[in-house]
Structure 1
Amino acid sequence: MEFTEHDWIRFGDAVIDYEIKRSTRRHKTMEISAGPNGVRVAVPAITPSEEVAAFVRNKAHWILAHTAAPRASPEPSKLPSSLPYLGRQVNVVVGNGCVADVDVRFRPWELQVFLPLETDEAHAAGRARSAVAEWYWLRACEHVTTSVDRWWPDLGRDSMPEIHIGDQRKRWGSCAADGQLRFNWRLVMLAPRLLDYVVVHELAHLTERNHGPAFWALVETILPDVAERKRALRSVEGTLPM
C-alpha cells in the first residue's frame, strides 16, 4: 500500500516543499529525487515525519542544485486594511504606541497593531506582519485543539496524537503515518464549519489512510453536508491574504 503526504522545510532563505511517498513495501531505505517538477521522498510507511524532514534538510544543498530556482522569502509588504478571522472580515489598524514590543489586540471586529514609537519605518511592515501572523497562530492553536477535542470521540484511535500548527503553503492539514496531525494556521481565517471539516478530514485518516469510498463514507457519517463544505473550502483556496 502507498499513500502520499506533503511537507516543507526552510533552509536559509529558501523554502523546500516536498512530497512524501510512504509505502508498506519499503522497509529501511529512504530515497530522494529532485527536479523542475519538485522534490519527492520515498520512505517506509512508518517513518516519523521528523526523520523525513531531517533527511531532506541533510540533502538541501543537493536539492537546491537540482531544482528550479527555490522560492525565496518575499519582502514583507504592508498589512491589508482588513483580514478574515473565523469567516468574518476584521478591520486592521496599525499605529505607534507606548509599547515595548509589537502589541496586537483584538476588539470585535477590529485588529489593532501597536508598534513601538522608535520603530524604523523600513522594518515596520515586517514587524507588523510577523506579529499578526503570530496572533493568528495562537488563535489557531486554540480553535484547532478545541475542534479536535470535539470530534475525537467519533473518530479518535488509541491515544490523542500530537497536534502541530504550521505554515504549510499548499495544504490545510495532514495526518502522518504515526498519527501526528498537522494543520495550517490560516485555518482560523475560515468559518468554523470549514475548520471543522479539515479537522474531521484528517481525523478520518487515522482509520482510512487514502481518499477512497470508505474514507468519504466515514466523513459523511460525521458531516452529512461534507460535499458542500468541501466545495466551500475549495472556493477560498488561494484567496487568503497572508
Structure 2
Amino acid sequence: MQLDLPFLRSSRPIAQPDPGVEFIRTRRARRYILRVKPDGTIRLTIPRSGSRSEAIGFMQRHVAWIAKERARVRRDQAPVRWTDGSTILLDGEVTTIAVRRTGESVTATYGTRVVRVKDVSDVRPCIERDLRDLARERLVPRLRALAAGLDLTVTRVTIRNQRSRWGSCSRAGAIALNFRLVQMPPSVWEYVLVHELMHLTQQNHGPRFWTLVKRACPSFQESERWLRTTGRSLF
C-alpha cells in the first residue's frame, strides 16, 4: 500500500544509478505529469492517449527538474533527531521520550517501552529498532490470524523500513509491512493489513478490490483519512 494509491502501477528500471520510474496510466489525466516520490522514485502519469515511449521522452526533457526535485526531497527527508522530551506517536497517541542515566546505563522510555541507548543526542535509531521488534510481535501474528479467517494463504511476512509504502504484497503471496504501522491507531494498521491481504486475490486497486476491502473492513475510509492527514508525520 503506497502513501497515495495509483489507479494502475507498473515499474520499469532506467539508467543506473537511477532507482527507477513508475508509469501510471489514468483515465483522468489530460497531460503527462512528473512527480518525485519520497524514496527518489519518479512517478510519471500518462494520459489515456499517451504512450510509454512518449512518456520517456517527456521525462528526458525534464532531467534538470528531476535532479533539482530529488535534491529537495533528500533535504526534506533528513530524519529529525529524537532526544529527551521529543514526542512521537505510539498506538496513535502522543508519547514523550524520557532519557535517563543510571550509573553507566542510559535508557529511553516511550509509553511503556524502555530501550537502552548509547547516543543521548539522538535516540531515534534505538527506538526505531525497538519499534521494529514491536511490529514483529504485533503485526505478524495478527496478519496470519486475519489471513486464516479470510481463508487466504500468506507465504511470508517481513517487517521493513519503507519510505513510501505502508505495505506491499507480491504475486507469490509474500507481504511486507512498514514497522511504523505500530505508531498508528490499531484500527488503522489493521486496515492496512486487510488492504494487503486483499491483494492476494486482486493485484490492483479496481472496483472489485475495494468491494473486498469494504466487506472485510467496513470503516476503511476513516483509516484512509488518517493515513492521508497524519501518516506522513511518522517519517
Decide which of 123, 126, 129 is 1:134's aligned counterpart.
129
Task: Give the TM-score, by structure 1 length.
Answer: 0.63
Query: What pairs up with 1:177-196 in 2 under 5 angstroms?
Result: 177-196=171-190
1:29-73 Cα distance to aligned partner (Å, 9 max, x none): xxxxxx9855469xxxxxxxxxxxxxxxxxxxxxxxxx6256378
Query: What pairs up with 1:13-24 in 2 under 5 angstroms?
Result: 18-19=20-21
**Counterparts of 1:218 and 1:99 in 2: how far apart (Å)?**
54
Report the residue type matching 2:198 in the other structure: A
**Counterparts of 1:195 and 1:75 in 2: how far apart (Å)?**
23
Closer/same/farther in 2, CA of residues 115 and 227 from structure 1, 3 Å limit: closer
- The answer (yes or no) to whether the contact 1:82–1:89 under 8 Å persists in 2 is yes
Report the residue type matching 1:95 in the other structure: R
Task: Give the TM-score, by structure 2 length.
Answer: 0.65
Query: What pairs up with 1:72-221 in 2 under 5 angstroms?
Result: 74=78, 77-79=81-83, 81-98=86-103, 103-105=107-109, 109-115=111-117, 123-126=119-122, 128-158=123-153, 160-221=154-215
- The answer (yes or no) to whether the contact 2:107–2:115 under 8 Å persists in 1 is yes
Gapped runs of 5+ residues in structure 1? 7-13, 22-34, 42-66, 117-122
Report the residue type matching 2:81 in the other structure: S
1:227 aligns with 2:221: yes
Higher strand share: 1
Report the residue type matching 1:90 in the other structure: T
Closer/same/farther in 2, CA of residues 222 and 130 from structure 1, 3 Å limit: same
Quote the sequence identity (%). 27
Q: Quote the RMSD (CA, aligned, Å).
A: 3.5
Report the residue type matching 1:219 in the other structure: V
Closer/same/farther in 2, CA of residues 138 and 227 from structure 1, 3 Å limit: same
Deviation at 1:78, TM superposition (A): 3.5
Question: Secondary structure at the residue paired with 1:239?
Answer: helix
- The answer (yes or no) to whether the contact 1:5–1:176 under 8 Å persists in 2 is no
Query: What pairs up with 1:32-47 in 2 under 5 angstroms?
Result: 37=36, 39=41
